Amino acid sequence: MARARSSKKREDIFQAGLKLFSQHGYSKTTIKDVAEEAGVSFGTVFTYFETKDQLFHACVTEPLVEFREHIMEIRNRLETLTLQQLKQIIDQHVDMFFEKEREIRVIQYVIGQPERFQEMEELDSFANEFTQFIQDIVVIGMKKGFLPNSNPEEVGHGYLAFLMGARLTYTDHKNVQLTNGFKNQALRLFGIGV
């Protein structure tokens, strides 16, 4: 039986799985490798996760909780949004997508093979939530006049695509010039010239 989520060892195994799955994909990651990386024995992995599948599923879905909180926190104070705050939000999003490299890589691994994985539904609803959040921002920005006339849906989808693609295509997360460029380009998707 799988153990509680709070154990130190569970977290070690989870992090090891996250690292190796994000680097080598599902099949090229062996339980033996995960065990070594986590500093536990082969058998112990199965004490905390019943199957390799369940470990992988955990690596894909559990980080969504933190991502969601990160977005929701801002969603509450959306009525008083200013352009300055929007710029801050975009900065945070770009930074988050580059900092949470492993978490997003495994998500992209799943999204990239929709015929293979069922986790899709959870990820789909998260994506919908996110684009809805962006749409709300665009509507408020237009109402308040600090955003030009736009199709909010187009901005939402375009902005999510942009963040995903930036993370997928560019590995060098230490490159400040690059991330700054992405922040400028992200602003342009909202119709704000730089």
Q: Least distance to DNA from the beta carbon of 104, Å?
A: 23
Where does this chain touch a copy of itself (CB under 8 A) — which range of 5-13, 73-81, 132-140, 174-182?
174-182
Q: Interface mask (CB under 8 A) for a copy of itself, residues 111-140, using x and -?
A: xxxxxx----------x-------------
Q: Does 23 bind DNA (CB under 7 A)?
A: no
| Rounded CA separation 64/122 (Å) | 9
Q: What is the DSSP code (8-state) at residue 100?
A: T
Residue type, 63: P
Which of residues 3 and 28 has its CB atom nearest to a copy of itself in the complex? Answer: 28
Residue 171 site contact among DNA, a copy of itself, none (CB < 5 to 8 Å, cut-off depends on kind): a copy of itself
Contacts of 84 by beta carbon, 8 Å cutoff, 6+ apart: none
Task: Tally Cβ neighbours within 10 Å of residue 7.
Answer: 13
Q: Does 24 bind DNA (CB under 7 A)?
A: no
CB-CB contact of 173 with 165 (8 Å): no
Which of residues 140 and 164 has its CB atom nearest to a copy of itself in the complex? Answer: 164
| Rounded CA separation 171/174 (Å) | 9
Residue 37, token pair as written in the block: 């990386």
Binding to DNA in span 44-73, by CB under 7 A: 44, 46-48, 50-53
Residue 104, token pair as written in the block: 């997003």
CA proximity to 55, closest of 23, 108, 101, 19: 19
Count Cβ atoms within 10 A of the Cβ of residue 137 and give its class: 0-12 exposed, 13-18 middle, 19 or more buried. buried
Q: Does 92 bind DNA (CB under 7 A)?
A: no
Q: Does 42 bind DNA (CB under 7 A)?
A: yes
Residues found near a copy of itself in the complex (CB under 8 A): 23-28, 105, 108-109, 111-116, 127, 148, 150-151, 153-155, 157-166, 168-171, 178, 181-182, 184-186, 188-189, 191, 193-194
Residues found near DNA in the complex (CB under 7 A): 3, 9, 28-32, 40-44, 46-48, 50-53
